[in-house]
Structure 1
C-alpha cells in the first residue's frame, strides 16, 4: 500500500498572509496550499504571523513582518512560507510567536530573538525598538523551553528555573521592585517561588499572565487575574504579583502533566487524561457550560464533553485538540472563521472540524486568530 502524503491546512484570520496561502483573504474553512509539502513537526503563530518547524530543524515563517518578527532581515509581509536563512546553520527545536515578536531555541539550547523589543520582551540589550534578524540572547544558562505572551516572554532553564522578561505592570514577571511590579524588565529575571525552590518542567504565557508546571504536577500562575486566570476570585484579587500555586484538590487530586494558555484562558491535562479549563468564558474559551451571563470561571473544571486527546493548543481566545482517533476539535472565539465551522458563530463546546474528518490529523497549531493542521491524506485524494 502506498504511504499517505501529508498536507498543511490553515484557516481563520489572514489579513497579513499568515495562512501561507499566497493571499490575504480570511478562510472560514480549512484550506491547503499545494506548493508547501515540506515535512513539519511543529506549527505555531503570533498576532499575525506563522512559524513552521520542519523535521530537519529548519524554520519557515510568513505573515505580518512589520517589526521584523519573521527573522528575514527585512520588514515586508510574506504570504508564503520563507526559510529563515539566518538560522540555516542552526537546528531549531522550538519557535514561539508573541504579538509581534519571535523567540527561537536551537538544538544547542541557545536562544535567538527577533521582532519588537519595545517592552524588553526579546531580552536584548541595549533595548532597540525592533530587530529583523534572529539575534542571540546573552544568557548565563541553557534554555530548554519557552513561551511568548502579548508583550512578555518566559523561559525554562535546563536546571528547571523560570526566567521572565518584557512587560510587567500586570504582575506577569512574578517579581516586585520596591514592592510594586516593574513596568518593563529588559533582561531575563529569575522568578522566586514563595513556597521555596521548585523545579519547573513547562512554562506558558498569556496576554498578561504567566504559568508554569512543576515536576510534582503542580500549576503555578501569576499576573493579571481579571478573568480568573490565576485561579483566584478576580473580584477580590484582580492581580497576582507572585506565583500562586493552584491547589491540587481542584484537579481532583491528580497531577497535572501539561498546561496550555491562550490570552485569557488556560487548559491543563491531568495524568488520567482529563482536560480542565479556567479563565475567560464569554467566547466559549472554556469549552464547557458556565452560568448565563458569566464572563469567566476562575475554578479549574473538567471539560466533560471532550474525549481523550493526544494534542492541545491555544490561540488567543480559542483552542484546538486532536482526539484519539485523529480528528480535530475546536472551540471558542470564531470571528474570521477561526474554528473552521464555515461561519463566525462562537463555538461554546468542542466541535469537530468537519472539513478534516476524512483525514488523519497528526499536528495542530494556532496563532492569535488562526488555526493550522497537518493531515495525512490518502494518495488518491
Structure 2
C-alpha cells in the first residue's frame, strides 16, 4: 500500500480459473470459478508492477524489484532450485541481489529481465527457448550470454522467445514456431530466427525501431516507436489480419484497422490480440470462441466505427479488430494477464480515501 497526497492506493490481487498446480497462488490446487483474493502474497506492502502466467505457473514482480512465483515447477520454471510445485507466491531467492523489472512466462519456462538490461531464463529448454543451448533445463535463472546489448523488453510465447534491445532491434529464439514455418514454406528455406537456439535478429525488422515485443502461442508481435504493429507466425485464428495461414516474415498491420490511430500499447493471449490506441480505444481480434475478445462479434454489432472497419476489410475471410466500447478512452493502468487460457491473475488498483 502506498500513500500519496490525500488519497491512499490499495492494491488487491485476485486469481481464478484452473489451478491444478497451484498457479493461482491461493495455497491450494482447487479450481476457482470466481475471482478469489490472494492472501498468501508474502508482503502486502509491496506493489505489484508486473504479473503474468504460463502453462501452469505464475510470476509477479514488485516495485522493490523482487520476483515471486508459484505453480507448476516440473522443469524448474519457478527458478527456486528445486522441481516441486508451489501453491503460493514464493520469493525467488536466487535473484536476491538482482533487481527485476519484468517477467514473462511461456508454457514451461520463465524469462526474467533485470533493471540493468540483462535477460535470465529458467525451466524447460526442450525447444531451445531459454537461449542457453548447452542445457536441457535449469531450475535457477541463468543469463542469456549472447545478447550483448542492453535489453528493454522480453516476451515468452508457448515455446519461443522475443527480446527488444535498447537500440530498438528485435531478436527471436526457440523452436516453437519452426514446424509451422516449415509446413507453410512450400519447401523453401525458412528464416533462421525460426530455428535459432540463441538470440537471432529478425531481418524483416532491421529498419524499424521497436518499442515493445509481444508473443502468443505461435505468433509474434512488435510495436514500433511510430505506433505501428508488425506480426508474424500463426494466423490460424486471424491474429495476423492477413489471408495467409502463416506469416513467414513480419508484416505491418494496416492502420485503417485501428481507424488510422497510432497504437500506444498491445498485448496477446495464446491466440488473440489486444491493442490500445493513442486516444484510449481498445481493439480486440483473433480467437473468440471462449469470450476472449470481451465483446460480441463484429457481425452482430451496428457501431459505426466497426462498420467502417468491415468496409476496409476486403477479404471476406478476415475478421477485423473491433473496439470494446466500455473501455474506450480508458487511461487508468491495470495489471491483468492470464496463463494458458484457463486461469487468470489480476492486480487492480483502487483508490481508498484516507
Please classify the TM superposition score into its range, dividing by the shorter chain length: 0.7 to 0.9
Instruction: Tell me: CA distance 1:298–1:257, structure 2 relative to 1, closer, same or farther (3 Å).
Output: same
Instruction: Tell me: CA distance 1:246–1:133, structure 2 relative to 1, closer, same or farther (3 Å).
Output: same
| Residues 1:215 and 2:187 aligned together | no
| Residues 1:7 and 2:28 aligned together | no
| Residues 1:186 and 2:197 aligned together | yes
Bigger shift: residues 63-72 or 221-230? 221-230
Q: State how far apart, in whole Å, the 2-side matches of 1:378 and 1:289 are.
A: 31
Kept in 2, the 8 Å contact 1:227–1:297? The answer is no
Match of 2:81 in 1: 73
Bigger shift: residues 150-159 or 364-373? 364-373
Q: State how far apart, in whole Å, the 1-side matches of 2:181 and 2:45 are.
A: 40
Match of 1:256 in 2: 263
Kept in 2, the 8 Å contact 1:68–1:114? The answer is yes
| Residues 1:373 and 2:342 aligned together | no
Report the TM-score when normalising by structure 1. Answer: 0.78
Q: State how far apart, in whole Å, the 2-side matches of 1:22 and 1:104 are.
A: 24
Following TM superposition, the consecutive aligned residue runs of length 4 or more in structure 1 with deviations greater than 4 angstroms are 1-5, 175-178, 375-380
Q: State how far apart, in whole Å, the 2-side matches of 1:61 and 1:72 are.
A: 9
Match of 1:24 in 2: 29
Aligned partner of residue 23 in structure 1, secondary structure? coil
Q: State how far apart, in whole Å, the 1-side matches of 2:349 and 2:117 are.
A: 31
Q: State how far apart, in whole Å, the 2-side matches of 1:287 and 1:101 are.
A: 28
Deviation at 1:240, TM superposition (A): 0.9
Match of 2:100 in 1: 92
Deviations 1:180-231 (A, max 9, x none): 256632011101127x611010110011010111111111000111111111
Q: State how far apart, in whole Å, the 1-side matches of 2:186 and 2:115 are.
A: 33
Kept in 2, the 8 Å contact 1:119–1:184? The answer is no
Match of 1:129 in 2: 136
Q: State how far apart, in whole Å, the 2-side matches of 1:151 and 1:308 are.
A: 34
Deviations 1:305-357 (A, max 9, x none): 4343346xxxxxxxxxx7xxxxxxxxxxxxxxxxxxxxxxxxxxxxxxxxxxx
Kept in 2, the 8 Å contact 1:230–1:298? The answer is no
Q: State how far apart, in whole Å, the 2-side matches of 1:267 and 1:35 are.
A: 30
Q: State how far apart, in whole Å, the 2-side matches of 1:178 and 1:232 are.
A: 20
Q: State how far apart, in whole Å, the 1-side matches of 2:144 and 2:326 are.
A: 43
Task: Trace 1:238-257 onto structure 2 (pairs within 5 A).
Answer: 238-257=245-264
Instruction: Tell me: CA distance 1:214–1:286, structure 2 relative to 1, closer, same or farther (3 Å).
Output: same
Q: State how far apart, in whole Å, the 2-side matches of 1:15 and 1:38 are.
A: 28
Task: Trace 1:112-261 onto structure 2 (pairs within 5 A).
Answer: 112-126=120-134, 128-138=135-145, 139-167=147-175, 168-169=177-178, 170-171=180-181, 179-181=189-191, 184-193=195-204, 197-233=207-243, 237-261=244-268
Instruction: Tell me: CA distance 1:171–1:277, structure 2 relative to 1, closer, same or farther (3 Å).
Output: farther
Match of 1:58 in 2: 66
Instruction: Tell me: CA distance 1:191–1:30, structure 2 relative to 1, closer, same or farther (3 Å).
Output: same
Report the TM-score when normalising by structure 2. Answer: 0.83
Aligned partner of residue 68 in structure 2, secondary structure? strand
Instruction: Tell me: CA distance 1:378–1:255, structure 2 relative to 1, closer, same or farther (3 Å).
Output: closer
More strand by share: 1
Aligned partner of residue 187 in structure 1, secondary structure? coil
Instruction: Tell me: CA distance 1:377–1:287, structure 2 relative to 1, closer, same or farther (3 Å).
Output: closer
Any gaps of 5 or more consecutive residues in structure 1? 312-321, 323-361
Instruction: Tell me: CA distance 1:184–1:176, structure 2 relative to 1, closer, same or farther (3 Å).
Output: farther
Bigger shift: residues 299-308 or 210-219? 299-308
Kept in 2, the 8 Å contact 1:165–1:188? The answer is yes
Match of 1:334 in 2: none
